[in-house]
């Protein structure tokens, strides 16, 4: 009911949409580039997320609920909902297009630049310019944008629960947009009055980004999003290395339960180590807020590691 009311303002006719190539595929189905034609506005390119043909009704409502969550948010570093197509066919959710795709792919595609970062100027001006996009300033800006998005969510009482590079997008201005609100929930007051969310969702868990209390008790909060933000920072400085190296998710579970946290690269700077240590404190209450992480990064820039 609530979903239908919120999405009513976003309805788009299927005829107004021209679907183009696939941009990627995810849990619900594939994401395609699409041209959205408009009589009153300019036509624009959008990302159209489709629900698989054979999806169960519960998946359809989850899919639309994600669109509804995004519609309720308004922040420059949170992906925006453009529209939804619901009638005559499988539902489509239209989101603002992120020119550079997801952050994980973006980082990994730039690994070759890091190797020659110092001497890139000798190769060509183009690669010299590109190398600037994996500079300390660029990585720090991306981290701060993710922190700003999380600070905003926390002010709105929303827990994302799946923060990681693969769930962030990079737009044409190389600005970060937090996406993938499929697991996001409004916070509810926990037994002790603390806002937290006890998980009851079946399916896959982002174990490598999860805080000890999420792994042990299925509890999610703004503080577990901050743990994941610390892991995202690690992904940034290693240009998308897998957290915990080759350790299996089951082994990671045991390792974190025994007090472990993601290993840092040997050459990680004191700024990176300091931030990681803050975000990965065992006691959730001792972790900084996303706004504090944002402020920390203003004074202490990140730098690339060899991974």
Query: Least distance (Å) from ligand ADP to the CB of residue 28?
Result: 6
Contacts of 222 (CB under 8 A, 6+ apart): 150, 153, 154, 159, 187, 195, 289, 290
- For strands 158-159 and 17-25, give the pairing: unpaired
Measured from the CB atom, the residue of 79 and 261 that comes closer to ligand ADP is 79
Measured from the CB atom, the residue of 82 and 252 that comes closer to ligand ADP is 82
Name the strand (E) or helix (H) holding 149. helix 136-155
Among 31, 36, 120, 208, binds ligand ADP (CB under 6 A): 31
Among 6, 7, 17, 47, binds ligand ADP (CB under 6 A): 47
Total of chain residues touching ligand ADP, rule CB under 6 A: 20
* DSSP-assigned letter for residue 152: H
Whole-number Å distance between alpha carbons of 185 and 172: 29
Binding of ligand ADP at residue 98 (CB under 6 A)?
yes
Query: Least distance (Å) from ligand ADP to the CB of residue 25?
Result: 6
Given a contact cutoff of 8 angstroms between Cβ atoms, the answer to whether 236 and 105 are in contact is no
Q: What is the set of active-site residues?
A: 162
Among 67, 95, 228, 279, binds ligand ADP (CB under 6 A): 95
Measured from the CB atom, the residue of 151 and 179 that comes closer to ligand ADP is 179
Whole-number Å distance between alpha carbons of 48 and 138: 28
CA dihedral of 112, 116, 118, 124, whole degrees rounded to 10: -90
- Any idea how long the chain is? 307
Contacts of 252 (CB under 8 A, 6+ apart): 207, 208, 244
Among 3, 60, 80, 101, binds ligand ADP (CB under 6 A): 101
13 is in an annotated binding site: no
Measured from the CB atom, the residue of 25 and 72 that comes closer to ligand ADP is 25
Among 70, 78, 97, 236, binds ligand ADP (CB under 6 A): 97
Q: Which of the ranges 18-26, 196-204, 250-258, 271-279 carries the binding residues for ligand ADP, by CB under 6 A?
A: 18-26
Question: Interface residues with ligand ADP (CB under 6 A)?
Answer: 23-28, 31, 47, 49, 79, 95, 97-98, 101-102, 105, 167, 169, 179-180
């Amino acid at each position: 009911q609530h979903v239908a009311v919120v999405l009513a303002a976003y309805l788009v006719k299927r005829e107004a949409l021209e679907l183009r190539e696939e941009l990627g595929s995810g849990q619900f189905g594939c994401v395609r580039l699409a041209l959205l034609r408009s009589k009153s506005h300019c036509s624009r390119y959008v990302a159209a997320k489709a629900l698989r043909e054979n999806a169960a009704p519960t998946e359809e409502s989850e899919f639309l609920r994600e669109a509804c969550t995004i519609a309720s948010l308004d922040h420059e570093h949170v992906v925006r909902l453009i529209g939804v197509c619901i009638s005559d066919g499988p539902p489509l959710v239209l989101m603002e297009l992120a020119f550079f795709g997801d952050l994980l792919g973006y980082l990994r595609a730039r690994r070759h630049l890091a190797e020659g970062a110092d001497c890139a100027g000798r190769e060509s001006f183009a690669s010299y310019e590109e190398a600037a996009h994996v500079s300390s300033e660029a990585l720090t800006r991306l981290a701060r944008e993710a922190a700003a998005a999380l600070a905003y969510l926390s002010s709105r009482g929303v827990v994302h629960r799946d923060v990681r590079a693969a769930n962030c997008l990079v737009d044409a201005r190389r600005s970060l947009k937090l996406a993938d609100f499929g697991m996001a929930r409004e916070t509810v007051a926990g037994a002790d009055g603390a806002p937290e969310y006890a998980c009851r969702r079946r399916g896959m868990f982002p174990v490598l980004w999860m805080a000890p209390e999420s792994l042990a008790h299925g509890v999610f909060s703004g503080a577990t999003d901050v743990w994941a933000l610390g892991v995202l920072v690690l992904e940034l400085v290693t240009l998308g290395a897998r957290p915990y190296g080759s350790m299996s998710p089951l082994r990671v579970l045991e390792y974190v339960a025994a007090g472990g946290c993601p290993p840092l690269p040997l050459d990680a700077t004191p700024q990176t180590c300091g931030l990681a240590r803050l975000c990965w404190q065992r006691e959730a209450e001792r972790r900084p807020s996303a706004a504090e992480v944002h402020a920390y990064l203003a004074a202490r820039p990140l730098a690339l590691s060899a991974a």
